[in-house]
Amino acid sequence: METNGAAASSLDSKLSAELREIVGDAALVWRPSELKVYECDGWTIEKSRPDLLVMPRTTAEVSAVLKALHKRKVAFVPRGAGTGLSGGALPLQAPVMICTSRMNRILSIDLSNRRAEVESGVVNLHVSNAVKADGYFYAPDPSSQMACTIGGNIAENSGGPHTLKYGVTTNHVLGVELVLPDGEIVELGGATEDRLGYDLLGAVIGAEGTAGIVTRATLKLMREPQSRQTLLGIFPDVDSATRAVSATIAAGTIPGAIEMMDRLIIRAVEAAFHLGLPDDAEAVLIIELDGLEAGMSERLERVRELVRGCGASEIRIARDEAERANIWKGRKRAFGAVGRLASNYATQDGVVPRTRLPEILRQIAAIAQRQHLRIGNVFHAGDGNIHPIVLYDERDPDEVRRAIEAGREILQACVQLGGSLSGEHGIGAEKIHEMPLLFSPDDLIVMAELRRVFDPEQRSNPNKIIPTPGACVEVTTPHRQAAL
């Protein structure tokens, strides 16, 4: 019979008692049935349950928890909302999970200096919602922004549809409070843009939880653009749509966003939301222009001409905010709609130079055929940041194997085309074995050395991002378990 956390987990009972003392009983989850929720993030191919989940409310509690773990050399994994798509919050030889969901206060909003100070468990969209009425917004807008946390965004250096023009998370974080794995609390960056010395804040943004736990962040706020125009282009083939992406940017216009969906995703979105997209559409582009009112209609006309010239069969322009929201609804909820197509899916994330989009999409189609899988594409086309969605059934071990293999082949193709292993979802557990495709052994050793500056014992989110380097780089094999 389960009586308490210590009995249920492999952790020493003194540690469990000390953690209970720090955060209180209600902030600990230890029953295996309840911990099941935390055995994976949005990348569901691998699963591994923590022994104990701790949900602190303050930086002081996080610090005390990490000091207790440090004393006993226990590894931990930070977690925000668990929407990550590369297994970043998957516990791999990390018995304790520390979740920031209760650290969800917006601490201050300073519009004259255009910044906000927030706890790391604040949901991304809540920041923009808090300043919307004053005409401001927080620019990084992952499609998961209704759920994902600022701490998760910082750890993954997240992007979103509007990062084509505005940049990713690192361009919008001025400073963080970080609790190091030994429990020491440090401040990196600050309230102003200019920083002297090495950019340690830059090293923590995108570190995927391997530098400790971010507890607080100072974010930049941006003024809402005066005007927005949203165009939906429907194309009879994928090549024409990708040509329109390059043509628009080459013509000197940087839209706020250029997003693309292919046939498989259009079908799923249409079935879910009934947006009136034609049955024979092979690709859809959403192009959003934003900026000053002056000159907007001329820019829109220029883009409309370019899109038509590249072969769009139909062009729709949102006439009001309701139509704009409708266009975006399909894109932002596309991942949810994919649930209609298959019982399981793995979202891949890679980047290629924008001009190589037609080639990578052709290669993805070939990989799908070779592996006998269905793969849809919905992605940030303006950045060349692709998101192939590999559909599979986790009850079929061979299909799981082929889905993993297809993901790997897609990443290889991205690197061969001059791109990279991730545009925004990070390396996590998923792509750790692919790092040597892009980085030399020396590169990986330097990265590991940088990591040790923050986490000498490598207890903060072990077995993530960097394959274990020794004298020569040796790839660790974390316990890989295909979910059956």
Ligand X SMILES: Cc1cc2nc3c(=O)[nH]c(=O)nc-3n(C[C@H](O)[C@H](O)[C@H](O)COP(=O)(O)OP(=O)(O)OC[C@H]3O[C@@H](n4cnc5c(N)ncnc54)[C@H](O)[C@@H]3O)c2cc1C
Q: 81, 125, 258, 417: which one contacts ligand X (CB under 6 A)?
A: 81
Choices 155-163, 274-282, 361-369, 390-398 (CB under 6 A): range interacting with ligand X: 155-163
Listed residue (41, 44, 46, 86) closest to 427, CA to CA: 86
Query: Alpha-carbon dihedral of residues 269, 271, 276, 278, nearest 10 degrees?
Result: 90
Q: How many CB atoms lie within 10 A of CB 241?
A: 29
Question: By CB neighbour count within 10 A (0-12 exposed, 13-18 middle, 19+ buried), where does 53 fall?
Answer: buried
Least distance (Å) between residue 216 CB and ligand X: 9
Q: Is 259 in the site for ligand X (CB under 6 A)?
A: no
Q: Is 164 in the site for ligand X (CB under 6 A)?
A: no
DSSP character at residue 467: P
Choices 44-52, 75-83, 127-135, 297-305 (CB under 6 A): range interacting with ligand X: 75-83
Q: 80, 330, 462, 469: which one contacts ligand X (CB under 6 A)?
A: 80
Q: 5, 56, 78, 330: which one contacts ligand X (CB under 6 A)?
A: 78
Q: How far apart are CA 99 and CA 93, in angstroms?
A: 17
Considering only residues 167-206, where is the footprint of ligand X by CB under 6 A? Answer: none
Alpha-carbon distance values, 5 to 10, 13, 27, 277 (Å): 9, 8, 12, 52
Query: What are the strands of the beta sheet with 374-379, ordered from one edge?
Result: 314-317, 227-235, 283-291, 257-262, 374-379, 388-392, 344-347
Choices 83-91, 277-285, 290-298, 448-456 (CB under 6 A): range interacting with ligand X: 83-91
With beta carbons less than 8 A apart as the criterion, state whether 86 and 43 touch. yes
Listed residue (326, 344, 224, 218) closest to 272, CA to CA: 326
Listed residue (374, 230, 257, 383) closest to 315, CA to CA: 230
Is 179 or 306 the residue whose CB approaches ligand X more closely? 179
Q: Is 331 in the site for ligand X (CB under 6 A)?
A: no
Burial 252-282, CB ≥16 within 10 A → b, else e: ebebbbbbbbbbbbbbbbbebbebebeeebb
Q: Is 214 in the site for ligand X (CB under 6 A)?
A: yes
Q: Is 286 in the site for ligand X (CB under 6 A)?
A: no
Is 120 or 240 the residue whose CB approaches ligand X more closely? 120
Tell me which H or E stretch contains 220.
strand 213-220
Q: Is 335 in the site for ligand X (CB under 6 A)?
A: yes
Contact string (CB under 6 A) for ligand X, positions 115-144, x = contact:
-----x---------------------xxx
Q: 155, 232, 245, 265: which one contacts ligand X (CB under 6 A)?
A: 155
Contact string (CB under 6 A) for ligand X, positions 397-436, x = contact:
---------------------------xx-----------
Tell me which H or E stretch contains 68.
helix 59-71
Contact string (CB under 6 A) for ligand X, positions 29-58, x = contact:
------------xx----------------
Least distance (Å) between residue 468 CB and ligand X: 17
Instruction: Count the residues of the shown chain that bind ligand X, applying the rule CB under 6 A.
Output: 36
Least distance (Å) between residue 185 CB and ligand X: 13
Residues forming a β-bridge with 156: none
Tell me which H or E stretch contains 284.
strand 283-291
Residues that bind ligand X (CB under 6 A): 41-42, 77-85, 88-89, 100, 120, 142-144, 148-149, 151-153, 155-156, 158-160, 208-209, 213-214, 335, 424-425, 461
